[in-house]
Amino acid sequence: MSKATYKDAGVDLEVYAEAMARLPRLMHRTFSPRTIKLDGGFAGLFRLDFDSPLFARRYEEPVLVACTDGVGTKLKVAQRCGRHDTVGIDLVAMCVNDAICCGAEPLFFLDYVAMSHDDPPLLEQIVRGISDGCIDADCALLGGETAIMPDLYQPGDYDLAGFCVGVVDRKNLIDGRAIAAGDVVIGVASSGLHSNGYSLVRKVVFEMSGLPVDRHVDELGQTVGDALLTPTRIYAQPLRRVLQHYKVKSVVHGIAHITGGGLRENLGRIVPATLRAEIDDRAWPVPPVFSWLQKLGDIDDAEMARVFNMGIGLVLVVSPYYAERIQRMLRESGLENWQIGSMVTADVE
């Protein structure tokens, strides 16, 4: 009887070492002077404050903000397309876009990658996307974990989870309590489907319609695969510029990341019980990908609005006096945005 080995069980430690050797450079490109390098260590190190004109924050009462999320079944689209360099951006976006809803500055990011077998080129593609997302979010990719589990995942399958930690001075914490009647609701454009509703997307596109990923869709001006793999937009840096501009005045009263549940459900999470958001659904253009998908699957309007972001990826609830200035700042950062509604007094029984 031959001796049992880890390799025979599905885990090749030599290939694992090769995969790990590809990752440090992708992490290092995200580092700032606040990151303390500890290659090969058991944890990542990050300075909360830093004594320099560029990085000093001088927090009075720092509050740490932590978020975790995944990419969901959008990963199945990446696997179908054989393209894995964008889902890492989605992973970062889903986490940091939640963190900024509290007014936090994202500090660092950790990832968890679970795979069936070691595949160094595949892992490098995934982590490159995560690294790209961290650069876009201006946060450090501080570390992560790669788990090889052949008994839990079929060959070629993998899953991702992300973890973001940010910080905000308590006096600048945004939690929706300051929202008042008359506040303006600003909708900021999404880049497309982002990372929600992909179980329905895959059912409509691949099962019901039988479309191949390389089919060109004229009304979208791109292939099916490219449309479905468009990465989630990361709003961290443009929003940080807005918040830093108004460090003394409290003008942004609430922020909502529009994910699963749609605009109304996610906005409702931050609105006080005495108020409600009055939204004009005609105030912004719905991107073609949503109309195409709705027609393809004969999906009801209500279902579309409940599952997808419909072109609004982030919402800001702001003081009406500053609304137009904030809109200009967002446009200067390359973000389309619209005044899509206002806060009104709720009917309380």
Read off the pTM: 0.95
Question: Pairing mode, if any, of strands 252-257 and 275-279?
Answer: unpaired
User: Where does a domain end: 146, 171, 196?
Assistant: 171
Residue type, 274: T
**Is 6 contained in some domain?**
no
When pLDDT is averaged across residues 180-188 and rounded to a whole number, the result is: 98
**Is 25 contained in some domain?**
yes
Same structural domain, 191 and 310: yes
Same structural domain, 192 and 334: yes
Q: Where does the pLDDT of residue 152 fall: very low under 50, low under 70, confident under 90, or very high at 90 and above?
A: very high
Provide the token pair at 144. 């992560």
Strand partners, 345: 275
> What crossing angle do the helices spanning 87-99 and 74-81 adopt, rounded to 10°?
160
CATH at 234: 3.90.650.10
Q: Is it the case that residue 242 has pLDDT exceeding 70?
A: yes
Same structural domain, 153 and 288: no
Residue type, 185: V
For 67-117, the three-class secondary structure string (H helix, E strand, C coil) is EEEECCCHHHHHHHHCCCCCHHHHHHHHHHHHHHHHCCEEEEEEEEEEECC
pLDDT for 1? 62
**Is 259 contained in some domain?**
yes
Burial bucket for residue 279 (CB in 10 Å: 0-12, 13-18, 19+): middle
Residue of higher predicted confidence among 91 and 26: 91
pLDDT for 109? 98
Strand partners, 144: 111
When pLDDT is averaged across residues 50-63 and rounded to a whole number, the result is: 84
When pLDDT is averaged across residues 55-62 and rounded to a whole number, the result is: 86
User: Where does a domain end: 171, 195, 215?
Assistant: 171
Tokens 């009917």 belong to 347
**Is 3 contained in some domain?**
no
When pLDDT is averaged across residues 38-55 and rounded to a whole number, the result is: 84
DSSP letters spanning 148-215:
E-TTTS-TT-EEEEEEEEEEEEGGG---STT--TTPEEEEEE-SSSTTS-HHHHHIIIIIIS---TT-
CA distance 323 to 321: 6
Same structural domain, 33 and 162: yes
When pLDDT is averaged across residues 293-318 and rounded to a whole number, the result is: 97
**Is 70 contained in some domain?**
yes
When pLDDT is averaged across residues 245-255 and rounded to a whole number, the result is: 92
**Is 112 contained in some domain?**
yes
User: Where does a domain end: 171, 200, 228?
Assistant: 171
When pLDDT is averaged across residues 57-69 and rounded to a whole number, the result is: 94
Q: How many domains does the chain have?
A: 2
Same structural domain, 338 and 192: yes
pLDDT for 349? 53
**Is 179 contained in some domain?**
no
Residue of higher predicted confidence among 33 and 303: 303
pLDDT for 49? 85
Q: What phi, psi does 255 have (nearest 5°)?
A: -135, 135
Q: Is it the case that residue 348 has pLDDT exceeding 70?
A: no
- What percentage of the chain carries pLDDT values higher than 90? 82
Q: Which domain holds residue 326?
A: 184-345
Residue of higher predicted confidence among 170 and 349: 170
Q: Is it the case that residue 8 has pLDDT exceeding 80?
A: no
Mean pLDDT of the chain: 94
Contact 173, 103 (CB under 8 A): yes
Among 22-26, 251-255, 260-264, whose mean pLDDT is lowest?
Answer: 22-26
